[in-house]
Amino acid sequence: MSTHSRKGAGQSKLGRLMIAGPLVGLMSVPALAGPEGEQVVHGSAQFTRQGNLTTITTSHRAIINYSSFDLASWESVRFLQPNANSRVLNRIQSGVPTHIDGSITANGSVYFVNNAGIVFGPNAVLNVGSLFAAAGNISNRDFIDGRNRFTDLTGDVVNHGRIEAGQVGLLGRRVANYGQIVAPEGVVTFGSGEEVFIGQRGSHVFARITSTDEGIDGGIEQGGSITAREVNLSVGDHFALATFDESDIRAQRVTIRGGDESTVTVSGSIDVTRQGDRGGRVDIFGDTILLNGASIDASGDLGGGVVRIGGDYQGQGLSPHARYTLV
């Protein structure tokens, strides 16, 4: 066992979207050995290594840079934080995608950023207060001040594992979920673009996406299951977004939003049904929207909810309006 501590001050576009399964095999997989080369740059953190378990005890807003942070299926990392409102930023500077195929637990919020990409493998199990995984960066100042502004999103974030958290954000140039995400009382956000800001208006969380190029190889693929209070899938201008036949989204509110000249293809199941209340809400916006055998259920014991596809009723209102909606 070792212990140490440190302190510091369109269709063509859809065709070009990544296929998350082969992507994992194509990425160079490093030798998995747990977090390595840690350097604490804000707050404090103590590392205790015992066998395949690494325990990281942190201060309230700790920032840690690593030379690598990869977990095999038999490896575990446990974050011990002061309380549920505590946050830790793990910035990986390996130059290659981070592969996590083991378990991570935390009683607070955990951030992983690596501009080369982040992959949660099929054996990955995360049980944390909140999780933000970004294939880009967040500045130290934004993190310390509590601003979820992620920049320089150039890599891929892919989930094949199981994530349980109060809030989940997967952010990158390309984002894919083929695993399970469970946040029954929280919000799940996928953001694809060059920069993503996650904010809150009242009780609703929103994502503001910035993109300046044509997003040829960028977008969102949703082929797994998501259970949450609110789900927000958003892509920037020119990016593509697709939910596949295997997609299963269950929430009270679901927003699927494409930018200008974006293509949004919806398949699979969206369930916003509610017992003892009116049904929930589904908003699907984009430049071109294709409903490809999608099942959308917004029924409720006290009446149906709201489903908007391509804009408000008969083009009224201030919501974005699709140029093309194909059913």
Say what the pLDDT of residue 32 is. Answer: 65
Q: Angle 206-207-211 (CA atoms, 0-180°, nearest 5)?
A: 155
Please state, in angstroms and as integers, the Cα–Cα distance from residue 263 to each residue in 9, 13, 142, 216, 260, following that order.
45, 8, 31, 12, 9
Say what the pLDDT of residue 33 is. Answer: 74
Displacement of CA 6 from its chain's centroid (Å): 30
Q: Which two tokens stand for residue 183?
A: 């946040």
Say what the pLDDT of residue 211 is. Answer: 76
Say what the pLDDT of residue 200 is. Answer: 86
Say what the pLDDT of residue 327 is. Answer: 53
Tens digit of pLDDT at every position of the chain (327 positions): 444 444 443 333 344 344 334 344 334 444 567 999 999 999 999 999 999 999 999 999 999 999 999 999 999 999 999 999 999 999 999 999 999 999 999 999 999 999 999 999 999 999 999 999 999 999 999 999 999 999 999 999 999 999 999 999 999 999 999 999 999 999 999 999 999 999 988 777 888 898 766 655 789 999 999 999 999 999 988 899 999 999 999 999 999 999 888 899 999 999 999 999 999 999 999 999 999 999 999 999 999 999 999 854 444 444 455 555 655
Please state whether beta strands 195-201 and 240-243 pair in parallel, antiparallel, or not at all (unpaired): unpaired
The domain ranges of the chain are 2-240
- DSSP string covering 42-104, please? EEEEEEEEETTEEEEEE-TEEEEEESEEEB-TT-EEEEE-SSTT-EEEEEE-SSS-EEE-SEE
Please state whether beta strands 130-134 and 167-172 pair in parallel, antiparallel, or not at all (unpaired): parallel
Sign of CA dihedral 165, 20, 101, 94: negative
Return all residues near 72 (Cβ < 8 A) that are at least 6 apart: 32, 33, 101, 102
- Among 326, 309, 180, 315, CA closest to 255: 309
Residue entry with tokens 């989204």: 249
Say what the pLDDT of residue 213 is. Answer: 65
Q: Report the length, in residues, of the chain.
A: 327
209 close to 230: Cβ distance less than 8 angstroms: no
What span, in angstroms and rounded, lies between the C-alpha atoms of 229 and 40?
35
- What is the pTM for the complete model shown? 0.88
In this structure, the number of other CB atoms found within 10 A of the CB of residue 96 comes to 16
Give the DSSP H or E segment for 156.
Answer: strand 156-159
Tell me which of 1.10.490.10, 3.30.470.10, 2.160.20.10, 2.60.120.10 is the CATH number of domain 2-240: 2.160.20.10
- DSSP string covering 215-282, please? -TT-EEEE-SEEEEEEEEEEE-TT-EEEE-TT-EEE-SEEEEE--TT-EEEE-SEEE--BTTS---EE
